[in-house]
Amino acid sequence: MDSTNTGMRQQGRLPHRLVRLRSWIQYGTSLQVKLLALVMVVALLVVGALYWFALVSLRTSTASTYEQRARSVTAVISNSIQEKDYILYYSDELDADIQRLLDRYEMVVGITVAGVSARGSVVVASTDPTMVGALASGEDQDRFSVLQEIEVTNVSLGGTVYLRTYDPIFSGPDLIGVVVVDMSLAEQAAFISRLSWQFGIASVVGFFLLGGLLYLALRMIVTKPLGRIAQVVGLVAQRKYDVEVSSPMQRIPGTRLRDEVGQLIDGINLMTKVIHSHEQKLMKLVMLDELTGAYTRDHFRAELDRELAKTRRYKQPTSLLLIDVKVSEPHTQQEQQEQVLIRTASFLIGNLRDVDVLFRVSELRFASLLPATPPAGASVAAGRLRAQVPDVSSLFDFPVALSISHMGWEGEDAPSSDDILVDIIGPLGDLGQ
């Protein structure tokens, strides 16, 4: 029973692990790494397919070449034997001729001459003396009876593969004998092995060369421009607007822009200027916090008064989220702390609803006003934010934590904004106007 439960728990954890792996691949690796992996896979498939086709063609053409050579050698041996009139006779001269032919052709490992007699095909000479005088096997008898020209086939003898040729000898229309020649494939195997290694080395070089060229092309066209865009977007998220994405090359005026990356660069540069201009106007109108871009405490007081009035009069619920920034490193520099606040503000704005306004109410505390939201809804929103906190803490090399709490009111007993401000900020507060 315990082992069954353990197995079920492991199966339950497997999808979560797959989700974490997919998340890491998607977000934990750069576009450059993903494109490099894709390019290497494509290059491997292309070069692997070329290697396979080349190797198959090599084996086919090499086998065909060796078959033609076998036919030629067998024809020479057969003609040499036919020139003598002892095809049906046993003689030392025939054995001597066979030995000379073996010495002449190194690839030939065996020669057998069979003559047709009244009893059938009889071996009259062979490199294997034990076969001389014996009738050919039934299978060979059947093959000999239908031979019309040289035939080539592969045979296995003692675990070794040989190339065997059968050459019929005719006297007029009558078959009078057959010359069987066995040839070694060692040279062919060595040749194929040598070329296979050469093809393999060439394929490895081609793999890296093709992959490298594809990667360089994609880097110039995609990853390098997108890297500059991502860098500028990151600076804009930190409220640094005096930046611009540089174009990879100068565009001649009048050239119609069809390149999507170029259109994206122009769009990012335009949006950066528009955001900067609008934020400058907003700061004058509503006094945004200069560091984080969140609304100021004064604006928080005004908005809180308005929402609490709705709560008391129309029973419309109102809730607050309080987010405290905690930097555990006591010697954190001011610049580092400001970066934490900027990143936290960007994180909160990105994860809150459009109607949930963010305020910086003290040095290390933010508040988000959730209009028409009961305390239970605020609890859900707080839990959702807590689950995403690692997105902020992972950006820094020192410990950073966010403490998220909530409060809410639903009726006439809603407190005044002053009482709430004293509770969440203190009598004086620690943030300037």
Q: Does residue 172 belong to any structural domain of this protein?
A: yes
Does the residue 120 lie in any domain?
yes
Q: Cα torsion for 354, 357, 358, 359, to the nearest 10°?
A: 160
Flag residues of the chain having pLDDT under 50: 1, 8, 11, 428-433
Query: CB under 8 Å to 163, separation ≥6 — which residues?
Result: 66, 67, 70, 152, 153, 154, 182, 183, 184, 185, 188
Say which CATH number the domain at 158 has: 3.30.450.20
The residue with tokens 């750069």 is: 30
**Total domains present in the chain:** 2
Domain end call among 184, 214, 239: 184
The neighbouring-strand residues paired with 405 are 322
Q: Look at strands 318-327 and 365-371 and give their pairing.
A: antiparallel
Q: How many residues does the chain have?
A: 433
pLDDT for the residue 91? 62
- 257 inside domain: no
Q: How far apart are CA 369 and CA 297, in angstroms?
A: 12
CA distance readout (Å), 46 to 40, 42, 206, 427? 10, 6, 10, 72
Domain hosting 388: range is 287-424
Domain boundary among 120, 149, 184: 184
Q: Considering 133, 155, 184, which residue would you say is the last residue of a domain? A: 184
Give the strand pairing for 365-371 and 357-362: antiparallel
* Residue 360: per-residue pLDDT: 93
CATH number at residue 387: 3.30.70.270
Say if residue 71 is exposed, middle or buried (CB neighbours under 10 Å; 0-12, 13-18, 19+): middle
108-117 β-sheet, strand order: 120-126, 108-117, 174-184, 160-171, 151-157
- Which amino acid is present at 355? V
Strand order through the sheet with 318-327: 357-362, 365-371, 318-327, 400-409
Per-residue confidence (pLDDT) for residue 430, from 0 to 100:
46
Task: Indicate the helix (H) or strand (E) that contains 319.
Answer: strand 318-327
Asked whether residue 250 is domain-assigned, the answer is no
Same domain, 411 and 300: yes
Label residues 20-55 b or e (16+ Cβ within 10 Å = b).
eeeeeeeeeeeebeebbeebbeebeeebeebbeeeb
Listed in sequence order, the residues at least 6 apart from 180 whose beta carbon sits closer than 8 Å to its beta carbon are: 110, 111, 112, 113, 114, 164, 165, 166, 167
How far is Cα of residue 357 from the mean position of the Cα atoms in its chain? Answer: 42
Query: Is the residue at 336 inside a domain?
Result: yes
* Residue range 107-161, pLDDT digits in tens: 778 888 887 877 788 887 787 888 888 888 888 888 888 888 888 888 877 777 8
Residues 6+ apart with CB under 8 A from 341: 291, 292, 325, 360, 364
Is 334 domain-assigned?
yes
Compute the distance between CA of residue 13 and CA of residue 5 in angstroms, rounded to an integer: 12
Q: Rounded to a whole number, what is the distance in angstroms from the first to the last CA of the chain? A: 65
CB 360 within 8 A of CB 395: no
Both structure tokens of 16: 């979560």
In three-state secondary structure terms, 353 is coil
Q: What is the pLDDT of residues 41-78, one digit of tens each?
A: 888 888 888 888 877 887 777 777 777 777 777 777 77
- By the 8 A CB rule, do 356 and 369 touch? yes
Q: Which of 223, 260, 229, 225 is nearest to 36 (CA)?
A: 223
Angle formed by the axes of helices 224-237 and 260-286, nearest 10°: 10
Instruction: Tell me how far apart the alpha carbons of residues 290 and 338 are, in angstroms, rounded to a whole number.
Output: 11
CA dist., res. 273 & res. 358, Å (int): 23
Look at residue 16 and tell me if it is in a domain: no
Task: Mention every residue, 6+ apart, whose C-beta is less than 8 A from residue 8.
Answer: none
Residue 232 lies in a domain: no
Block residue for tokens 């070794």: 160
